[in-house]
Amino acid sequence: MGLLLLIFAIAGFGGSAFAHIKNIPNAVDATQVIDWWAWLDGALQNFSTEVVGAILTFGLIEVLVGSRKEQDERIARLVKEAGSSDNVTAKNAVNELRTLQMLTTHEGVLCRAILPEANLSGANLGSANLSGANLVGANLSGANLVDANLSGANLGSANLSGANLGSANLSGANLGSANLSGASLWGANLSGARLGGANLERADLRSANLEGANLGSANLSGATLEVANLSGATLEVANLSRAIINKTTKLDETTTLPDAKIVDHDENGNRIFDKHWTPDTDMSRYANPNHPDFWQPDWAKSDDTD
């Protein structure tokens, strides 16, 4: 590009000079020669200025292009390191991405990132955009995920024990068989999330939105569900032993109870259950081990220590 600019500049100068020279007759007087040399001197000065300007412009473009390329390569490297199985490497990468303000933007660099089995234990991912990310089997134990966007993320079998997910967006996320024991999910959005077989033992789900979530076979023993929204949620074969569930917990006629059985399927293949919550349902039957009609799934009975 710089060579082209130089050629154009020379061509422009040469063409202008040639045109001027053609106008000089064979027999010229001294005045005409002086005028011509004056013009040539000025043209050379203008030519020098144009060449210098072209070189500086080209140099600036090269610097900007090179800088952008280096930045892109750096970010790609950090995203890869964020998925490392080495905890120090992964956390350092996340911290550097935060410094570069690449974590929390609308199109954050970890949005839809492929990070299976990443070791992000204790990482600071607060307000990070991880929507659609693949975090299958990842270790996020004790991580800060407050206000993080994990909508549509795949967290199947991930370890989120003790993690802080307060006000996080987990709508539509896959958390099947994930370990969320002791996790803080206060005010989190789990609407439509898949939590089948997940371990939510002693999890704080106060004010969490679990509308339409699938909690089939989930372990909610000792979990706090005050002010949580469980309308439309599926609790089939879930363990609610010692869970804190009271009048502030929102349930409705579309909430499937833990001891419900499948009786049919609709035209879309969705399961139809025989038992749903009603205003007369006594939820302490599922939460209080001392209830005379206490019920819990068979898979949980061996683990229940009264």
Q: Taking CA 280 as the corner, what is the angle to CA 279 and CA 286, rounded to the nearest 5 degrees? A: 105
Which residues have CB under 8 Å from 136's CB, separation 6+? 116, 117, 154, 155, 156, 157, 158
Question: Is the pTM value of this prediction over 0.85?
Answer: no
- Residue 69 confidence class, pLDDT cut points 50, 70, 90: confident
User: What digits encode the pLDDT tens for the residues 173-211?
Assistant: 999 999 999 999 999 999 999 999 999 999 999 999 999
Q: Which two tokens stand for residue 294?
A: 């206490």
**Closest alpha carbon to 197 in 210, 173, 215, 209:** 215
Write down the pLDDT at residue 71. Answer: 84
